[in-house]
């Protein structure tokens, strides 16, 4: 596994390749899963602290919903939502905090406050300042595939070969990041489940996730509570825990290094069992016969 560090703290240490659980903190009024629940800064901070207590290895804080059909919000509004949360949260937790944003200025302010990485769903395409900023700060960045933009990405997504096309995109964006000065060991890739994909596209990406290891970067997988699970089970977002668990276990078996989830306590348990069952992470003495 590629060594991947943030501000001197190894997120995926060489001597411990177990998958990492990234807890989601949505400081938004309209996210698809928990929109409005943690919109007030104090509630978002409390939620982040609770996720760490539940076992999160990383926190991912965002102030802009990217649900299908959503519009991007102005810079000033995103700063108003995110910065008060980061100001109160980063210094209180012992785990790395990521900022989920496509805007370089939001990322800059977050990194100034001690954030350890950037999670950019546009893979650095929307703001030309993002990759140079990340390069200058020497922090990790997650590059995600998205076909189109959130407002239109689910209207009629089409691929000739979804896995091949997503891999080609991520390879190209990783090279763009390297050309901008980002170290290869600071790059992670995300196939973008649910971002410009149909149910069958998402399932194909999950089935063939192991192929993404050939890119040579850690893989972040975000399936938590997403609509493809609802389509399979015919269940609303608040009843997708078991479906999320199944997709997380499959993803870890296929080589996912980081799983981004809402339900941290449960997914930490799922991740540990999946990892141990695959014989990759948990030491044998932890497993009772």
Confidence check: pLDDT of 3 > 50: no
Confidence check: pLDDT of 289 > 60: no
Confidence check: pLDDT of 285 > 70: no
Q: What's the pLDDT tens digit per position in 131-159?
A: 999 999 999 999 999 987 776 667 788 89
Confidence check: pLDDT of 176 > 90: yes
Angle, CA 165 vertex, CA 160 and CA 166 arms, to 5°: 130
Q: 149-160 burial by CB neighbour count: b if 16+ within 10 A, else e?
A: bbeebbeebebe
Please say whether the dihedral angle defined by the alpha carbons of residues 133, 149, 187 and 76, taken in this order, is positive or negative. positive
For the annotated catalytic residues, the residue numbers are 226, 260
Q: Are the CB atoms for 274 and 248 separated by under 8 Å?
A: yes
Strand pairing class (97-100; 58-62): parallel
What whole-number percentage of the chain has pLDDT above 90?
77
Q: Where residue 33 falls among pLDDT bands split at 50, 70, 90?
A: low
Confidence check: pLDDT of 32 > 60: no
The H or E element containing residue 130 is: helix 130-137
- pLDDT value, residue 157: 82
- pLDDT value, residue 153: 66
The secondary structure of 238-268 as a DSSP string is GG-HHHHHHHHHHHHHTT-SEEEES-HHHHH
Q: What's the pLDDT tens digit per position in 221-246?
A: 999 999 999 999 999 999 999 999 99
198 is written with which tokens?
């149909």
Confidence check: pLDDT of 1 > 70: no
Instruction: Give the domains, in start order, of the chain with CATH numbers.
Output: 18-280 (3.20.20.20)
Interval 191-212 mean pLDDT: 97
pTM, whole model, 2 decimals?
Answer: 0.90
């Amino acid at each position: 596994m590629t060594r991947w560090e943030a501000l001197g703290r190894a997120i995926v240490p060489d001597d411990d390749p177990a998958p990492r659980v990234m807890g989601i903190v949505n400081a938004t009024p309209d996210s698809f899963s928990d929109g409005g629940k943690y919109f007030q800064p104090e509630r978002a901070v409390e939620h982040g602290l609770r996720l760490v207590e539940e076992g999160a290895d990383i926190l991912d804080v965002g102030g802009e919903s990217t649900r299908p059909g959503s519009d991007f919000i102005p810079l000033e509004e995103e700063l108003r939502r995110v910065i008060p949360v980061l100001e109160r949260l980063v210094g209180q937790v012992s785990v790395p905090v990521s900022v989920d944003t496509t805007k370089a200025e939001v990322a800059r302010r977050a990194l100034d406050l001690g954030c350890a990485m950037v999670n950019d769903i546009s893979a650095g395409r929307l703001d030309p300042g993002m990759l140079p900023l990340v390069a200058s700060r020497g922090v990790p960045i997650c590059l995600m595939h998205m076909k189109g933009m959130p407002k239109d990405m689910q209207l009629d997504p089409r691929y000739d070969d979804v896995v091949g096309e997503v891999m080609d995109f991520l390879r190209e964006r990783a090279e763009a990041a390297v050309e901008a000065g980002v170290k290869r060991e600071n790059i992670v890739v995300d196939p973008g489940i649910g971002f410009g994909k149909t149910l069958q596209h998402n399932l194909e990406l999950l089935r063939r996730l192991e192929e993404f290891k050939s890119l040579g970067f850690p893989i972040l997988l975000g399936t938590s509570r997403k609509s493809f699970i609802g389509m399979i089970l015919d269940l609303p977002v608040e009843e997708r825990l078991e479906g999320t668990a199944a997709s997380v276990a499959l993803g870890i078996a296929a080589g996912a290094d980081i799983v981004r989830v809402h339900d941290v306590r449960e997914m930490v348990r799922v991740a540990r069992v999946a990892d141990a069952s695959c014989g990759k992470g948990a030491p044998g003495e932890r497993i009772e016969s």
